[in-house]
Chains A and B, each alone.
Chain A
Amino acid sequence: QLQLQESGPRLVKPSETLSLTCTVSGASIITSSYYWGWIRQSPGKGLEWIGIIYYSGSAYYNPSLKSRVTISVDTSKNQFSLKLSSVTAADTSVYYCARQDGFTIRLGYFQHWGQGTLVTVSS
């Protein structure tokens, strides 16, 4: 049974880099047809797609965050990670990792989600 678990610091200072890791269990991250992604949700707000990555390292990012975001994959640990630089209070959110299923990116959907982790940006 596929499980995803986010981990990382819950408190980040303004201007610093937010770093989170998603550990995948119950399936290999080296699987064709799947992308691995990050989605966030500010308190009381809606969902915002951050980006997705294929096990080969090919990635797509939200244009509004692209200059600050890096998503990477570590196949040896069956993990993928998110780095968001120069954070501000506006980046305070619950961050979810998820697996994108579907035949292609354009037909993709997030069927498996982590429980989410609240990251607060504050000094």
Chain B
Amino acid sequence: QSLLTQPPSASGTPGQRVTISCSGSSSNIGSNTVNWYQQLPGTAPKLLIYSNNQRPSGVPDRFSGSKSGTSASLAISGLHSDDEADYYCAAWDDSLNGVIFGGGTKLTVL
């Protein structure tokens, strides 16, 4: 069981806004930054959000991240069919002295 808890699944219709949560603790999200990765089927993960709310060049502003206390969220607005993917949160954990990933959330676009 991951130290970062994500819902296993999420869904939405095209154009809708969806959010994916990531719950941690004081040793990870509470004291370090959160990153989000998108993994399309059969491909390597892609960095979507870093440092809680920063978008790498090329990532649409439909994607946004936030953090509060020991939880973080990824929001996707104006949902597209090609947003259908697995999404992972990640953070450094001070107790483990390493990176931990959430269990992943499978987003389905209905």
Instruction: Say whether A46 contacts B99, CB under 8 Å.
Output: no
Instruction: Say whether B32 contacts A110, CB under 8 Å.
Output: no
Complex alpha-carbon distance, A115 and B56, angstroms: 19
Instruction: Say whether B32 contacts A107, CB under 8 Å.
Output: yes
Instruction: Say whether B92 contacts A96, CB under 8 Å.
Output: no
User: How extensive is the interface on chain A, given as a class?
Assistant: 20 to 34
Instruction: Say whether B51 contacts A109, CB under 8 Å.
Output: yes
Shortest CB-to-CB span from A66 to chain B, Å, is 9
Instruction: Say whether A63 contacts B103, CB under 8 Å.
Output: no
Task: Name the contact of A49 in the complex, choosing from B33, B44, B56, B98 (C-beta under 8 A).
Answer: B98
Closest A residue to B36 by beta carbon equals: A109
| B side interface size, CB within 8 A | 28
Instruction: Say whether A63 contacts B96, CB under 8 Å.
Output: yes
Shortest CB-to-CB span from A42 to chain B, Å, is 12
Complex alpha-carbon distance, A62 and B50, angstroms: 21
- How many A-B pairs have beta carbons closer than 8 Å: the answer is 69
Complex alpha-carbon distance, A105 and B44, angstroms: 22
Instruction: Say whether A113 contacts B45, CB under 8 Å.
Output: yes
Which residues of B lie under 8 Å from residue A48 when comparing CB positions?
A: 101
Instruction: Say whether B88 contacts A49, CB under 8 Å.
Output: no
Which residues of A lie under 8 Å from residue B103 when comparing CB positions?
A: 46
Which residues of A lie under 8 Å from residue B33 when comparing CB positions?
A: 106-107, 109
Instruction: Say whether A47 contacts B44, CB under 8 Å.
Output: no
Q: Which 4 A-B pairs have the closest CB atoms?
A: A109-B50, A49-B99, A109-B35, A113-B44
Contacts A/B (CB < 8 Å), 27 sampled: A46-B103, A47-B37, A47-B39, A47-B101, A49-B98, A49-B99, A49-B101, A62-B98, A96-B45, A101-B50, A105-B92, A106-B31, A106-B33, A106-B94, A107-B33, A107-B51, A107-B92, A108-B99, A109-B47, A109-B51, A109-B90, A110-B37, A110-B45, A110-B47, A111-B56, A113-B44, A116-B44
B contacts, CB < 8 Å to A: 2, 31-33, 35, 37, 39, 43-47, 50-51, 56, 88, 90, 92, 94, 96-104
